Amino acid sequence: MRQDERQWELDAMRGLMLVLMTLTHLPTRLSDPLGQPLGYVSAAEGFVLLSAYMAGRVYSTKADQHGTEAMKNAFFNRALKLYACQLALVLFAFTAIAGIGLLSREDAITGLLGFFLERPVVATVSASMLLYSPALLDILPIYIVFMLVSPLALLHGMAHGWRGVIAISLVLWFGAQFGLGPALYQLATGWFDMPLRYRDMGAFEIFAWQLLWVIGLWLGCTHSQTDHVAAQFPRWMVIGALALALFALVWRHAVGQTPMPAGSAVNLMFDKWHLGPLRLINLLALLVLVMHYSDWLKQHAPRWRPLETLGKAALPVFCAHLVVALLALAMFGASRPGRPWSVDALILFVGFYALWVVARLSLARDRRAALRRDRRAHPPGNVLSPSGAGQ
């Protein structure tokens, strides 16, 4: 998407998701109260949905304008870029962060990198194959998988409609609620010697979270069409979504991030890692409200330029927020009630200032790259000198 075609509200929403994720992952006393601030939905769901929406818009347009091969190549190149980012983050975690954690004997790091510290060679090889995904480093691997399979879903949806794609996605999500991932893991261990435990392969159940990606692709592809008409939700649906979203918002801040006492089966319905059904309903209610009131929000919501800046440089900022969070955990440990406010304030200030610097540097680099591309595409013409005018 060219700079002049960007929608500022999408960049601002991505920036907001990055801010919320950073507040959640930095080990300060704000992590718990600002985690899931809009109900039983986290910033991760919003970020995945927005990323898929942008991918659906950008790559379906590329397929229409430049052909399917160009679209497939773009997806593959993006996956390679994500893979390079993941390798860099893993290398940083396995060297600098592990070293600091061992020297400081910080449980937050030794626990997070426990499998690597037990079996460093196996962990390194497995991480390079996107199999071993310690906490905080387990989102980019599923992004890479989504990028690699997205051309199939997008091309089928563009050619034959999205009902079949969404139906298959719902079946996979349903299976994930009843242990599809662990069952496939057990099947694989019957054929291969798997040194990894299932829990070391990442907290996100990919068969559940793919549903969000497919929904985002579908919406992005649909909204990219020139004849697209904005969705009109019936009044009862909007009122129901508003009531449900408000109830979840009040309940979350009244009782905390866990809706029921420990041990209650209801909590599984809100599970983040499996994208439980009640959590999904909460997310869809918020999605209906955002889509229904989008025009009003664009007209009346203030434009917070820092959020747009962060959103425009989403990938570098996302990676930077993981670096900052890992460093904070290694140096200060997990959040503790007795820690002075001044320490938490320092962590937050340094963390967000680092994200801002990364965003500005990334955008400046992109502008320079765009300028070089324009110069190559439109080289200045040769100016004839007076002596050569008659040649």
Check if the beta carbon of residue 63 is closer than 8 Å to that of residue 158: yes
| 241 three-class SS | helix
Residue 33 in any domain: the answer is no
pLDDT in tens, 187-205: 888 787 778 889 999 999 9
Residue 8 in any domain: the answer is no
The Cα–Cα gap between 253 and 40 comes to 10
Check if the beta carbon of residue 109 is closer than 8 Å to that of residue 100: yes
Residue 147 in any domain: the answer is yes
* Residue with tokens 């209906």, as numbered in its chain: 288
pTM: 0.91
Residue 320 in any domain: the answer is no
Residue 51 in any domain: the answer is yes
Count of the separate structural domains present in the chain: 1
pLDDT of residue 6: 66
pLDDT along the chain (391 residues), means of 10: 64 95 95 92 95 95 93 96 97 95 89 92 94 93 96 94 96 97 89 84 95 96 84 93 97 93 90 96 96 89 90 96 96 88 95 97 92 80 46 35
pLDDT of residue 385: 44
Residue 326 in any domain: the answer is no
Structural domain range at position 84? 39-303
Contacting residues for 203 by C-beta, under 8 A, at least 6 apart:
135, 138, 273
pLDDT in tens, 336-363: 888 899 999 999 999 999 999 999 999 9
